[in-house]
Structure 1
């Protein structure tokens, strides 16, 4: 009997058979449909779309038939290997290659002489291809674009950049198929429509078994405080790793990753060579070695960050450990899926809390996963900086006529509502820099020629634009290497700038001493193990999601009713009972507030359980509203669970708090938040990112790199010029809008105020700091005291609180050791002093 197809033969040869959802994808692709495939990690998504491509486009011989977009260039080689296996049998005439920022110039030149049939690339590299003069000729042949890990791009400007690129490809080939792959999305319809209007949704296997458990500490700390590395859990983690053949240990920050790698090797020197380090600043060659060794089963453990969240297929991984809370349901699922990464295999993730309240988060995370509650990802709306960059890119790639390009831009979902005024402003900006910069030739980037086609006439400006394409904006990075020339890793310039010659720090798993700095290279030598500084990277700390915050409030509801339904909640019961005895427990229907006096002043503690970002805006708003009528100075502190306002004078919160929390219209709330913060300085910082994407400032010129100080100075100059001479500049308005939406999340703050208005305010006056209040006091003290003085004060405070609670005083050495081990980087804070605005 003849076989059904070469595809089923290929699967059968490996002992596999197609799943129903894979067959649905193949049927849709044969019909020429675009789509979004949503299935759990390791269920066969990649094979579904790739085998569908090999069937639907089997007759393709033209170069660049398929573009496979990956969100991380580090994943390109792994993806390429995964695709080559099936293509070698099912489409032997096809050639495959990767093209990212890591691709050598020689390989790029070879590709341009003969483009491959399928190319694995990134959004940035695709935009670079669009900037080629022969872009229409090269890219009009593309018949399929596959976007891997679409959820990672959907809610960012990188996703918007890709939307615009896809709109251009569809103009050249209206029958273009676009398929997205995702495992962790809640808003599937919006995600599919954003990828390809009219795309079908194929739901794959969602019954993958995920085991989520928690590694509980030896004893409960009733007065938990955040900021330490969780290294008190080191013995239990070592035991857990020892019992498994292979483990991924996820951390939330690169600093934490470095510290845990060192701690594991100190605890088990015999694991040298079996434990590896992987994060975004480690040299690319070293990362590739780690990935290959893990896949080959040569490593027992890899300590990593989000650098291994995506894509890399680690079939041998037996378990995943998550140090600290994952802070979001989707992130936890993504990391859990790194183990058992194959159809039919069970994934396992063990949560390792760094303090007691994270045990409640662990319980809430499991409950949210079991209920299928995942965070939605929303695409940005019409960011003009991305549009401006895209206009210059298209002008380089053959040029454009504005009246023909506008419908194409509006076909990208993020720009559907783009107004004529905003479009004209973007054209004016790329033509002469707008009203305030038209006298400067460098801003005459795109001009119409005699035929009405807009092009880039200056070769120097063209080279500069190509060197800076992309929407990823971060602190300038410095290369760290030995005096002998061996490159170790990269680290942000702001960290190296704080070091003196001879200072010792941990990086790339090594203890290093700074020797000298030349340009953007820091030269180091090996240093003996001992006390070392931990590099600090921006953007390293996550805030808990709305979904997780809601699940936590549910956990507290159960505790209020005396129900402790799982082992995590039973373990933290002593903490929660003490909180209830001294004050009360918060919940979904009760808003808990505490008013207390201490030697520091008069405290207000409020527990909305809405996440650090919302609490920062809420604290500033409360202080500002309170100071409108009564002169007052406030010091603020926030964490994931609540906020603290400290004032020197007593305030009647019983009479004032409820009115101060009243919701207002969205526009009024935006105005109040901007008034309550140092909004000008915060917007200035946000403007640097926008100016970089829009092409006002450049991370690098061809042949040179610019320091962070130079970039910030340039951005500040433009910011001041626009405010003085062009106050209606749309990039200024965008900076303000992104500050409110991204950094302060005013929409979430609005939802929080509305929710609190429907809750019963429960204002208590405890005699001393409660278990929920104590972490907030520590947050405030960390900003004002040295490590040594803070350790001494925390020791006294803990001893007094434990004595009042009828327990043993905490050992001072424990507090000092935790602080000395380093702290996770705190997010940028608004200035703390809030004075009455007259």
Structure 2
């Protein structure tokens, strides 16, 4: 059958469904059948699964004309997805097409949720298409004779590549692909990505720089003009001194009509804690929604999550309060409306969420933006423009992740073993390790066989043995089992199961939160008030509580910061606000903020394009100095520490630091000589790394980062499934190793990686440098204010939040507002 006839089969099938294939789908079919690799850039809900699954089946038909009567057994395609929740969707779509063409193709799922019985069945007869995650793919590479499993593999499709790209899971995919290219000689590799700023680089990372696959590749874009309608929920009364978290719940009554008027609404919150609060508050004020509203976040048990997803599909739920757990393509067409609660911190995330509504080609996506404090309306205004410009962020790929490399080499050693001379060129062909030197490679090989220079006396670190012919292999069954249990790069705090004392599993919660509670304390989880009875064997045993007040759990992953793109958009919006006159026509959001801007102008200024604002004032707490780079909280945390350190070199003074996405505060019991700060050019990017190192206690931050690296590299063992090692023990084990390397082996690559990742990923050193260079070009405007300004108020109140309970905080803020309004 020629290509034209094959494509005709697919077009006929589409016609039978009452569909018409898009140009991008047909382009992908043609490119695949021409044996090309590529990256497909397509939004969620546009039919991307069929763009790549259809040609895989057509290619099989071309090679097996008698496909209806004879079935060629064996694995033909792997579909890698970052989220287990997506696998069911992909399975349904792929099975349907394969079945209706009569190919006898079997489709299987292999993730952490796959039952042991099903895994055993897959081992005996592997499906034609395997839908899996990066971790489960590495588990397959750790099994004996894996080459036999993969030898007839024709295609690997990496779904949601933009999600994997900026993480170590992306590195896992790169390494797995480097191996599969050698094992399966007729392999085509495709990625599917939503829009990101660096699409060309994304393709290069997926296929490998300077690889034959990259040379024989295409970029296919789905130019579907998706219309996105962004509407802001604007409070009727605008307080002149905004503070975080205050507006959100106060606008609850504005959200209810939206929910009532839509078939189904998704309310996106930024954190799991916020998700729990909103769910509780809606039900408390509107009990008639009981049974019609649900909650969805990553810590709720799998059965509940799947039930919620199904209930959205069949429209039996009116609303779901959720987190990013529903960001990615869980495919349900009927969602009509999205409400984004609080700033999403990034353009791509906002567009992704907007795309969940009108989740069909040609439909308008409607998203409401609901600020949790007034100044977030500036973000809303910026997002309106970003949507119009289609301005989205880059995803920065990881480089030289030696911890992932160590894990991968152990994976190969656990299965059939490897010869370094064969594996080294494969590893060096990946984007992540394109710069690896012979010396670094030798160090890694020594590390897995001898346990690095300072650990040579301990046998537990000598995992890999070198056989007579030079093959690297793990023979010890205990080492092999522990390694397989720990494959993966997602390192979170130890998770404890939450169960009723009478039986019944509710979900998982982080150890660090539960460790602060004592028996009898009540906390809110999965929409219920639960009383802690006791903690036993990694299980939190609870019973229902009728108490009205309860602690809201918080998760370590709850801190989000502005992307660089979002910061830039926000600054542009702020500059526009500085030019506002009474008669100026502007966005609805900026218009609503006029009372705040007017008060800010009265007390201080709104900084323009070439201005950098510093405000100083005195309160009962001490002397406040507030700086406004508008760069996001992570950059502000680093910049605040850097400035505090540089000021202390001029005169001995100690500070407490507070920051949000807009600026940071240095609070002291003595006045800062601000003129001295300005005269000494303390915003210089010179000596940045040295000063950061000293100011931030970078060693402490690197020590915390090292825990994750030690877990990924297998230096510390996280425990068996029902007997996990406690978080504090993991921390102390990894800290001990960190101290050993610091004192005796400073050239240890994993030790050095901890510092590199701290600066590159946590402190965003690159962004910090650019911010300092920008401030150097701006005119610094220092305003000596009488009292806090509208811009400084959210930063001050955020610091109080750390010290006070929410009730006391509200009382305290009310008193402060009375003082300010005088």
> TM bucket by the smaller chain?
over 0.9
Please say if residues 49 and 90 of structure 2, whose CA atoms lie closer than 8 Å, have aligned partners that are also in contact: no
Which of 775-784 and 129-138 deviates more? 775-784
The answer as to whether partners of 1:634 and 1:645 remain within 8 angstroms in 2 is yes
Residue 44 (structure 1) aligns with: 47
Which of 25, 31, 35 is matched with 1:32 structurally? 35
Count of residue correspondences: 801
Q: Is the 8 A contact 2:7 2:29 kept in 1?
A: no
Q: Give 1:489 deviation, angstroms.
A: 0.8
**Distance in structure 2 (CA, Å) of the matches to 1:47 and 1:346:** 22
Cα deviations by residue, 1:341-389 (Å, 9 ceiling, x for unpaired): 1111111111111110111111111111211210100111111100100
Structure 1: distance between partners of 2:116 and 2:691: 52
Contact 1:515 1:525 in 2 (8 A): yes
**Equivalence map 1:64-79=2 (5 Å):** 64-79=75-90
Partner of 2:575: 557
Deviates more, 1:353-362 or 1:584-593: 584-593
Structure 1 contact 133–398 (Cα < 8 Å) conserved:
yes
1:663 pairs with 2:663:
no
Range with bigger deviation, 521-530 or 327-336: 521-530
Match of 1:690 in 2: 709
Could you tell me which residue of structure 2 aligns to residue 303 of structure 1?
321
Return the match for 1:186 from 172, 176, 197: 197
For the pair 1:581 / 2:602, whether they are aligned, the reply is yes
Shift of 1:587: 3.3
Q: After alignment, is 685-694 or 138-147 more displaced?
A: 138-147
How do 1:534-549 and structure 2 match up within 5 A? 534-549=552-567
Post-superposition offset of 1:788: 5.1
Mean CA deviation greater in 118-127 or 445-454? 445-454
Q: Give the whole-Å Cα distance in 1 for the aligned partners of 2:512 and 2:724.
A: 15
**Aligned ranges 1:91-102 → 2 under 5 Å:** 92-102=103-113
Distance 1:456 1:17 in 2: 53
- Deviation, structure 1 residue 761: 1.2
CA distance in 2, matches of 1:549, 1:382: 28
Q: Spell out the pairing of 1:615-630 with structure 2 (5 A cutoff).
A: 615-630=636-651
Q: Mark the CA change 1:276 to 1:793 in structure 2 (over 3 Å): closer, same or farther.
A: closer
Q: 1:631 to 1:646 in 2, by over 3 A?
A: same
Please tell me whether the aligned partners of residues 261 and 303 of structure 1 are also in contact (alpha carbons under 8 angstroms).
yes
Residue of structure 2 equivalent to 1:636: 657
Contact 2:538 2:723 in 1 (8 A): no
Q: Distance in 2 between matches of 1:323 and 1:468?
A: 36
Instruction: Give a deviation string over 1:639-674, Cα, whole Å, max 9, x none.
Output: 000011122222221342364444335xx3122111
Runs of 4+ in 1 over 6 A off after TM superposition: none
Asked whether the 8 Å contact 1:401–1:454 carries over to 2, the reply is: yes
Instruction: Report the Cα distance in structure 2 between the residues aligned to 1:149 and 1:502, rounded to whole angstroms.
Output: 43
Alignment CA distance shift 1:228-1:122 (3 Å):
farther
Residues of 2 paired with 1:782 and 1:281: CA distance?
A: 25
* Per-residue deviation, 1:258: 1.0
Check whether the contact 1:626–1:660 (CA below 8 A) recurs between aligned residues.
Answer: no
Correspondence 1:277 to 2:295: yes
Distance in 1 (CA, whole Å) between partners of 2:75 and 2:336 is 38
Pairing partner for 1:377 from 395, 398, 409: 395
Task: Answer with 737-746 or 584-593: which moved more.
Answer: 584-593
* Residues 533 and 543, structure 2, Cα contact 8 Å, conserved in 1: yes
By how many angstroms is 1:228 displaced?
A: 4.7
Does residue 23 in structure 1 map to residue 26 in structure 2? yes
The answer to whether the aligner puts 1:610 opposite 2:631 as a matched pair is: yes
Q: What does residue range 592-607 of structure 1 map to in structure 2 within 5 Å?
A: 592-607=613-628
State the Cα distance separating 1:338 from its structure 2 match. Answer: 0.9
Give the CA deviation at 1:432.
1.4
Rounded to whole Å, the distance in 2 between the matches of 1:277 and 1:503 is 23
- Residue 682 of structure 1: CA displacement? 1.4
Q: Take 2:471 and 2:95, find their aligned partners in 1: how far apart are those partners?
A: 41
Q: 3-state DSSP class of the match of 2:509?
A: strand
Work out whether 1:318 is the aligned partner of 2:329. no
Q: Please, which of 138, 149, 154 is the counterpart of residue 143 of structure 1?
A: 154
The equivalent of 1:234 in structure 2 is: 252
**CA–CA distance in structure 2, aligned partners of residues 336 and 786 of structure 1:** 34
- The whole-number CA distance in structure 2 between the counterparts of 1:556 and 1:791 is 28
Q: Tell me: CA distance 1:180–1:658, structure 2 relative to 1, closer, same or farther (3 Å).
A: farther
User: Distance in 2 between the 1:704 and 1:790 partners?
Assistant: 40
Instruction: Give 1:102 shift.
Output: 0.4
The 1:659–1:25 alpha-carbon spacing in structure 2 relative to 1, beyond 3 Å, is farther
Q: Unaligned regions of 5+ residues in structure 1, if any? A: 804-838
Q: How does 1:397-546 map to 2 (within 5 A)?
A: 397-528=415-546, 530-546=548-564
CA contact (8 A) 1:609 1:640 kept: yes
- Give the CA RMSD over aligned residues: 1.6
CA distance in 2, matches of 1:504, 1:528: 9
2:233 is aligned to: 215
Unaligned runs of 5+ in 2: 65-71, 209-213
Answering whether residue 126 of structure 2 is matched by residue 115 of structure 1, we say yes
The structure 1 residue matched to 2:589, chosen from 533, 553, 568, is 568
Q: Secondary structure at the match of 1:426?
A: helix
CA distance in 1, matches of 2:44, 2:176: 27
2:559 is paired with a residue of what secondary structure?
Answer: coil
The Cα shift of 1:584 comes to: 0.5
Which residue pairs with 1:360 in the alignment? 378
Matched, 1:6 2:9: yes
Deviation at 1:62, TM superposition (A): 3.7
Partner of 2:777: 758
3-state DSSP class of the match of 1:534? coil
Equivalent position SS for 2:556: coil
CA contact (8 A) 1:362 1:568 kept: yes
Deviation for aligned residue 1:145? 0.6
The 3-state SS of whatever aligns with 1:646 is strand
| Residue in structure 1 matched with residue 365 of structure 2 by the alignment | 347
**What is the CA–CA distance in structure 1 between the aligned matches of 2:520 and 2:464, rounded to whole Å?**
49
Structure 2 residue 756 is the aligned partner of structure 1 residue 722? no
Aligned-residue offset at 1:425: 1.2
Kept after mapping to 1: 8 A contact 2:6/2:58? no
After superposition, the Cα gap between the structure-2 partners of 1:91 and 1:572, relative to the gap in structure 1 and judged at 3 Å, is farther
CA contact (8 A) 2:247 2:374 kept: no
Answer yes or no: is 1:706 the counterpart of 2:717.
no
The CA deviation at 1:4 is 6.5
The equivalent of 1:250 in structure 2 is: 268
Q: Aligned residue for 1:86?
A: 97
* Cα pair distance change 1:786/1:264, threshold 3 Å: closer
8 A contact 1:40–1:205 mirrored in 2:
no
SS of 1:603's equivalent in the other structure is: strand
Q: CA deviation at 1:63?
A: 1.5
- Tell me, in whole angstroms, the C-alpha distance in 1 between the residues paired with 2:136 and 2:402: 20
Asked whether the 8 Å contact 1:99–1:119 carries over to 2, the reply is yes
Cα distance, 1:719 vs structure 2: 1.2
**Residue in structure 1 matching 2:175, options 141, 164, 168:** 164
How much has 1:509 moved relative to structure 2?
1.3
